[in-house]
Amino acid sequence: MAATGRATPPLLRALNERTVLDAIRTGSPISRAEISRRSGISKPTVSLALRSLLDAGLVREAARGPDGPGYGAVYFEAVADAAVVLGLDLGARFVRGAVCDLSGAIRARQDVELAVADAEDAIDAIGRLRDSLLGTAGLEPKLVDTVIVGVPGVVADDGTLRLVENVAGLEGRRFADELQAALGLPVALENDINLAALGEQWQGVARGVSDFVFLSVGTGMGAGLVLGGELHRGRNGAAGELDFALGELGEAVDPAAPQVAELARKRTSLTDPPALFAAARAGDHAARAVVEEVARRIALHLAPVAAVADVELVVLGGGIGANGDLLLVPVARLLGKWLPFPPRIAVSTLGEAAVLTGAVAVGLQAALENVFTGRTAAPA
């Protein structure tokens, strides 16, 4: 007779422990009986799982119940600092950083300026920022489970960086390996706009949305695409590189800051995007006409993505994209004219913190898995 594929006791034990841990994380402080009720697991099985989680240091008895002192009842809570995550956002002029515990709470948040926008200075700045963040939070380096770094480029499968423009010397380098050696910590890289999309999914305007695109329009342009609730990177990790999408149109269609500044100089007396958008808000007709052209260029890049992927939502970010009061209506109008099922358009609610928030989200997900698998692996 063929094997039935029944779960083995170690697998069942791990599933029970994970379920109990999830119930404690979402409901703490929480009693044994309430864990059983929410998880659908019997009280004796909950007790066995709790014993393992307590021994592993992942949960502990809470000092208070949900409504104050428990008067004899025992409540449990997750140990938030069983591990921490470092999230970093590497830009052309700065490195932003945050340290986050397993509850999702930010324990410290700081920025470090780059003296020179090159790879060596970035490594030095990241090392200083790591030390400062952990020192401020009063945490030991050994507690860091992983470091997630948002970088302005495509991360290939072998860790090589491609299409990097803002930081000199990063192109073609295995930057994660260099950072890992410098920090003595596990490091993973992700495209910064991809992280911005995941940040909006975790704590921003895209919460609860399964299919959306985050379009960053600033000094450059890029997109992060989330489909079925998961980040879509593509075969080469280059999904969302919209700079290459309309290159053969034979007309200027780039809505990024340098091209907007050029438009402003040609059509108005203004010389930079902030002044242009300020003038448009003040009612300047020439400035408003330029903003309409910027909206058209944004819509031209979004239309193919929305038509092919049928996304529910477009989130605009970046220095240009943040001007939602002037851009949302014309972009939505054009997409509504061109597409049978146009997406909803919104502005990022996280702003400059989107990339860093995404880095923390990715690191937190990895750390929760790593801590569970690494510290509950007791003998059967």
Rounded-to-integer distance, Cα 100 and Cα 105, Å: 5
Residue 127 lies in a domain: yes
- The model's pLDDT over 23-52, given as tens digits with 9 standing for 90+, comes to 998 888 999 999 999 999 999 999 999 999
Under DSSP, is residue 191 helix (H, G, I), strand (E, B) or coil?
A: strand
Query: Residue 72 has what pLDDT?
Result: 67
Other Cβ atoms closer than 10 A to 72: 5
Residue 4 lies in a domain: no
Rounded-to-integer distance, Cα 281 and Cα 256, Å: 19
Under DSSP, is residue 226 helix (H, G, I), strand (E, B) or coil?
A: strand
Residue 234 lies in a domain: yes
pTM above 0.85, yes or no: yes
Residue 40 lies in a domain: yes
Q: Give buried/exposed letters for 82-110 (b at 16+ CB in 10 A, else e).
A: bbbbbbbbbbeebbbbbbbbbeeeebbbe
Cα angle 18, 23, 27; round to 5: 155
Last residue of a domain, one of 78, 102, 121: 78
Task: Report the Cα–Cα distance between both ends of the chain, in Å, rounded.
Answer: 27
Residue 180 lies in a domain: yes
Q: Is the CB of residue 116 less than 8 Å from the CB of residue 178?
A: no
Residue 362 sits at φ, ψ, to 5 deg, of: -65, -45
Rounded-to-integer distance, Cα 349 and Cα 205, Å: 6
**Total count of domains within the chain:** 3
Q: Which domain holds residue 21?
A: 9-78
Which CATH number does the domain housing residue 41 bear?
Answer: 1.10.10.10
Residues 184 and 225 in one domain: no
Query: Residue 1 has what pLDDT?
Result: 43
Residues 293 and 175 in one domain: no
Residues 223 and 274 in one domain: yes
Residue 379 lies in a domain: no
Q: How many CA atoms lie within 13 A of 304 on its CB side?
A: 10
Cα angle 269, 275, 277; round to 5: 110
Is the Cα torsion angle 51, 55, 59, 64 positive or negative in sign?
Answer: positive
Residues 363 and 327 in one domain: no
Residues 256 and 301 in one domain: yes
Question: Which of 18-32, 70-84, 152-166, 319-333 is predicted most confidently?
Answer: 319-333
- The model's pLDDT over 354-369, given as tens digits with 9 standing for 90+, comes to 999 999 999 999 998 8
Structure-block tokens of residue 2: 């063929």
Last residue of a domain, one of 43, 78, 113: 78
Which CATH number does the domain housing residue 339 bear?
Answer: 3.30.420.40
Residues 231 and 168 in one domain: no
- Segment 134-160 shows an average pLDDT of 93
Query: Residue 374 has what pLDDT?
Result: 73
- The model's pLDDT over 164-210, given as tens digits with 9 standing for 90+, comes to 988 889 999 999 999 999 999 999 999 999 999 999 999 999 999 99
Residue 2 lies in a domain: no
